[in-house]
Amino acid sequence: MIQSFVSRILHHFALPLSGQYWNEVISLHSTLFITIGSMAFFQFLYLGTLSIRTFTRVMVNVMWGASAHSLLLLFKKHPMSNVLERNSSIQAFFLKVFVGYIFADVMYYSIHRVLHWKYFYRRIHRLHHETQQSGPLTALDVHPLEYVFAQMSTELVSAWVVGATLPELCFLSSVAKVFAMYSHSRSDGKAWISVMEHEAHHRDGRHNFGVTGMMDWAFGTIK
C-alpha cells in the first residue's frame, strides 16, 4: 500500500502530456527548475548572497540543458527513461537512483579532470573557478558547455544505463543537483565530500574532483 502510494506521488511529477519525448523533457527540467529555485530562495533568504547575475546564468544553463536534452532525443529517437511499471517497488526505485548516482559521479569525476587540462580549463572551466564561491547556486554557475556535458549528460546517461523510469530520472537528477549545490554552500557540515574539501579543490585545482569522494579515493586525488 505504501509502495503504491509513493509510486503514484512520484508518477504525478511525470506530467501526462502528449508525446513521450516532450513529457520527459518538460517533466525533468521543470523538476530541476523547482529544485534549483528552492535552493535559490534559501540562499537569498538565509545567506543573503544570491546575486541576480548568478541566478540568471544558472537559469540560462537550465534552458541550455533542456535544449540539449531535446536534441539528444531527436537523434536518439527514444526517451532516456523507461516506462513506469505498475508493480515497481520503492526498494527498486532507490536502488536504481543510488547506482545511477554512483555511475554519474564516475563520469563527472572523469570529465572534471579533463576540464582541468589547460585547453579546456582556459576556454570552459575557468569561468566556474573565477566565480566567487558565494553559495549553493555557484555549483551551477558554469559555462553552458560544462553544464550540458559535465552535469546534465552524466545524469541522463547514468539514468539510461540503470534503466530508470521518468520519476527515477527526475529524482536522480535532483539529488545530483542538491549534492553539487551543497558542496558550494559554505557550510561546516559534512556530506560524502565536505564543503571544506571542495573549497580546497577551488584553491589548488589538483584534488577533490568528484562529489562522493569515491573516485578521488580510488585515484589518490582526495585531500
pLDDT digits 0-9 by tens, 79-107: 899 877 777 788 999 999 999 999 999 99
Chain centroid to Cα 193, Å, comes to: 15
Could you tell me the three cell numbers for 9? Answer: 506521488
Residues with pLDDT less than 70, the chain: 1-19, 133-134, 186-196
* Predicted pLDDT at 222: 86
pTM of the model: 0.85
Contacts for 192-199: CB closer than 8 Å, 24+ residues apart: 197/222, 197/223, 199/133
